[in-house]
Amino acid sequence: MSRPLYRGFSGGGGGKDRCADEGRHYDPKEPSENGIGAGGCGTPARGRKRHLAAAAARIGVLVLAAAALVGSVAWAGSLYAGRGAAAAMAAASAHRGYRRLQEQLVTDLLDIGALAGGGLRSREAEACAAEYENHVPCYYNGSDAVDVSDLGGGVVISYERQCSREGRATCLVAPPRAYRTPVRWPSSKEFIWKDNVRISGHEFSSGSLFKRMMVEEDQISFPSDAHMSDGVEDYAHQIAEMIGLRNEFNFNEAGVRTVLDIECGFGTMGAHLFERDLLTMCIANYEASGSQVQITLERGIPALIGSFASKQLPYPYLSFDMVHCARCNIEWDKNVDRLLRPGGYFVWTSSLHTHRALRDKENQKKWATIRDLANNLCWEILSQQEETIVWKKTNKRDCYSSRKSEPVLCARSHDPELPYYKPLNPCIAGTRSKRWIPIEHRTTWPSQARLNSTELDIHGVNSEVFGEDTSTWDSMVRNYWSLLSPLIFSDHPKRPGDEEPHPPFNMLRNVLDMNAHFGGFNAALLKSGKSVWVMNVVPINAPNYLPLIFDRGFIGVQHDWCEAFPTYPRTYDMVHADGFLSLEKRQKRRCSTLDIFLEVDRILRPEGWIIIRDTAPLIEAARSVAAQLRWDARILDLDIASDEKLLVCQKPFLKK
């Protein structure tokens, strides 16, 4: 059974004893004797001990490797000495097989040695320079900017995602000097700390539909009535009526659960719909300052950096029940239909098609192009009120065969469920998929999360395996929460001026699962009544169950963990990884565990949590990497009969 988790951690980073003086500040310009910053609270003696430990680890690995090789040679020699030619041939064959096992042993030992030392590097990671405070590697080192013209007018600069190993930060991205522990959910819907996000003057313009906010001395507030002419509640009610519903509380009954909000402003629409059991994903271009994605996540609403310019978004076909685009500056025609489920809704709010705008001949041409395109996509206009139009995607495959114009149906070779940043393909996708099921015929939320045997068959998943996975995660989440609750709710270190948080003011809101599998961790959190949302990440080197995750009514993304995650620093409260180390170990060291953990540290908020579940040797090695990142860490036993262990870490609040 798992032991209680106390504030004084053992292992990698140490607990409060590691830095007795809570007021001590971290200064990367003052390295100690072993290369550790003053805020690391290390001593020269401790540094020497770590160097000796690292040297011992290296020597141990080499000794074991040499012993394994010598043993194999001696064993083979004894076989040759006592046998004839035929026996020698057999012995040689056996020797080759045994030699392969020995080589695999050496490889495994070297893997663990590299994992434990992050490439046998024993020094604690240093803090990045101040210009890295909002560093997003795959966009800072991106190629030329691309101009994308909005069909409703205006031009924005969209930075293409382009990852390289050279763009990866090899240091700890420290928070801004005035950074504070984020406002907890649900208060974060209403206001956030101004110094926690990067903003610029143009963000306070009153001319933007979604980007209005009130700035006070130390905080930014988001009154809902400031985001729509009649308030966000009236706007959501209007959309529901245009679909044919009584109000926005009936969205689930119409088959709507997941919503993609393109250029969401600052997430107010998503915050409102969350209370209506709708899960809204904000997607917006990378922005060097005043980021919609950064501020939306700071408020506790799902968001991700994504560009529609030339690559597919890393979501599978037929993922979202509704796509919302209010004055969004993108060419939505190339991406939206692929992501929208049959029978789903596309809500577009723009001034382009108003009576006043259509007096202009150029606007008339643009509107005619959009209207014709929607017809060719087999979308039906349900309603048009003032600036808002609602289209419904067809739920009949034969509609496409009756068309006489483009876009054409995608070829079979271009219709896979592997969306990881493939080039845009202007064709109609998903019609051959078994997942082509109209939203009105799907199981509604919350029963949708359980998936019946027929729905599981679509994904090739056995119902017994799925049921066992569900039971396992229900138990694990209860275990996790019993371990973390004393720290999260009772023993959380208060900062000067902070009030003690009490439920439902969650210390955890934004959760990321690095290896989501079926999304069982997400489902168990919701079943246990936790007011969190989970970004379910399916690694590109794992079985692709992302379509299943979306069919359960959750959200997620495919990702290569040897690249930077498409988000800003300090945007998640918890990162969870089950079996992830084992998955990466099988990939023959594509990148080091230290590289991956540095990325986890970048996206994790100060005082955020990391929970890693894996085999005992990998967990022991991972604790050494956690020590390099100054994480407070402790290893816990899950079960006496299990060879798996749990590594629970907390990122420290390093202040400059």
Residue-wise pLDDT for 138-155, tens only, equals 885 433 333 333 334 333
Q: What is the distance between the alpha carbons of residues 387 and 422, in angstroms, rounded to a whole number?
A: 33
Q: What is the distance between the alpha carbons of residues 223 and 210, in angstroms, rounded to a whole number?
A: 11
pLDDT at 68: 45
CATH number at residue 265: 3.40.50.150
Question: What is the DSSP annotation of 265-301?
Answer: TTSHHHHHHHTTT-EEEEEE---SSS-HHHHHHHTT-
Q: Grade residue 627 by pLDDT with cuts at 50, 70 and 90.
A: very high
Sequence-distant (6+) residues with CB within 8 A of 27 are 37, 38, 39, 656
Do residues 523 and 635 both lie within one domain? yes
pLDDT at 222: 86
pLDDT at 59: 53
Do residues 520 and 397 both lie within one domain? no
- Identify the residue with better confidence: 64 or 598: 598
Weakest-pLDDT range from 225-239, 283-297, 533-547, 637-651: 225-239
pLDDT at 379: 96
- Kindly state whether residue 63 falls inside one of the protein's structural domains: no
Q: Grade residue 44 by pLDDT with cuts at 50, 70 and 90.
A: very low
- Residue 455 pLDDT exceeds 50: yes
Axis-axis angle for helices 616-628, 85-117 (nearest 10): 40
- Identify the residue with better confidence: 129 or 518: 518
Q: Grade residue 167 by pLDDT with cuts at 50, 70 and 90.
A: low
- Residue 55 pLDDT exceeds 70: no
The pLDDT of 367-373, averaged and rounded, is 91
Residue-wise pLDDT for 379-437, tens only, equals 999 999 989 999 999 999 999 988 988 899 988 777 666 667 888 888 898 898 999 99
Mark which of 443, 462, 477 sits at the end of a domain. 443
Q: Single out the residue of 520, 316, 334 nearest to residue 424, CA to CA.
A: 334
The pLDDT of 314-339, averaged and rounded, is 85
pLDDT at 496: 45
H-assigned helices in 429-497: 453-458, 463-485
Do residues 575 and 427 both lie within one domain? no
- Kindly state whether residue 69 falls inside one of the protein's structural domains: no
Do residues 397 and 253 both lie within one domain? yes
pLDDT at 586: 87
Q: Grade residue 19 by pLDDT with cuts at 50, 70 and 90.
A: very low
Do residues 472 and 516 both lie within one domain? yes
Weakest-pLDDT range from 74-78, 145-149, 644-648: 145-149
- Residue 554 pLDDT exceeds 60: yes
Number of other residues whose CB lies within 10 A of the CB of residue 574 = 23
- Residue 12 pLDDT exceeds 90: no
- Residue 336 pLDDT exceeds 60: yes
pLDDT at 208: 40
CA 506 to chain CA centroid, Å, is 19
- Residue 487 pLDDT exceeds 90: no
- Kindly state whether residue 57 falls inside one of the protein's structural domains: no
pLDDT at 104: 45
- Residue 53 pLDDT exceeds 60: no
- Residue 330 pLDDT exceeds 50: yes
Structural domain boundaries, residue 486: 449-490+505-651
pLDDT at 152: 40
Do residues 511 and 552 both lie within one domain? yes
- Identify the residue with better confidence: 348 or 139: 348
**Omega before residue 175 within 30° of 0, cis:** no
Do residues 362 and 466 both lie within one domain? no
User: Burial, 567: exposed, middle or buried (Cβ in 10 Å; 0-12, 13-18, 19+)?
Assistant: buried
- Kindly state whether residue 308 falls inside one of the protein's structural domains: yes
Q: What is the distance between the alpha carbons of residues 626 and 648, in angstroms, rounded to a whole number?
A: 10
- Residue 182 pLDDT exceeds 90: yes
Q: Which among 485-499, 573-587, 642-656 has the top mean pLDDT?
A: 573-587
pLDDT at 142: 38
pLDDT at 333: 65
Do residues 368 and 267 both lie within one domain? yes
- Identify the residue with better confidence: 40 or 571: 571
Do residues 250 and 396 both lie within one domain? yes
- Residue 95 pLDDT exceeds 60: no
- Residue 580 pLDDT exceeds 80: yes
- Kindly state whether residue 305 falls inside one of the protein's structural domains: yes
- As a residue count, the chain comes to 656
pLDDT at 246: 93
Q: Grade residue 533 by pLDDT with cuts at 50, 70 and 90.
A: very high
For the chain, give the mean pLDDT.
Answer: 78
User: Are 506 and 531 in contact, with CB atoms under 8 Å apart?
Assistant: yes
Q: What is the distance between the alpha carbons of residues 36 and 38, in angstroms, rounded to a whole number?
A: 6
Burial of 236-266, coded b for 16+ CB within 10 Å and e otherwise, reads bbbbbebbebeebeebbebbbbbbbbbbbbb
- Residue 109 pLDDT exceeds 90: no
- For a pLDDT cut of 70, what percent of the chain falls above it? 69
pLDDT at 211: 53
Looking at the 3D structure of the chain, how many domains does it have? Answer: 2
- Kindly state whether residue 425 falls inside one of the protein's structural domains: yes
Weakest-pLDDT range from 12-26, 509-523, 612-626: 12-26
pLDDT at 307: 79
- Residue 271 pLDDT exceeds 60: yes
3 state DSSP class of 381:
strand
Q: Grade residue 76 by pLDDT with cuts at 50, 70 and 90.
A: very low
Q: Grade residue 51 by pLDDT with cuts at 50, 70 and 90.
A: very low
- Kindly state whether residue 149 falls inside one of the protein's structural domains: no
pLDDT at 596: 95
Do residues 439 and 470 both lie within one domain? no
pLDDT at 545: 96
Q: What is the distance between the alpha carbons of residues 584 and 409, in angstroms, rounded to a whole number?
A: 37
- Name the pTM for this structure: 0.80
- Kindly state whether residue 163 falls inside one of the protein's structural domains: no
**Which amino acid is it at 213?**
M
Do residues 434 and 530 both lie within one domain? no
Do residues 622 and 512 both lie within one domain? yes
- Identify the residue with better confidence: 638 or 268: 268
- Residue 35 pLDDT exceeds 60: no
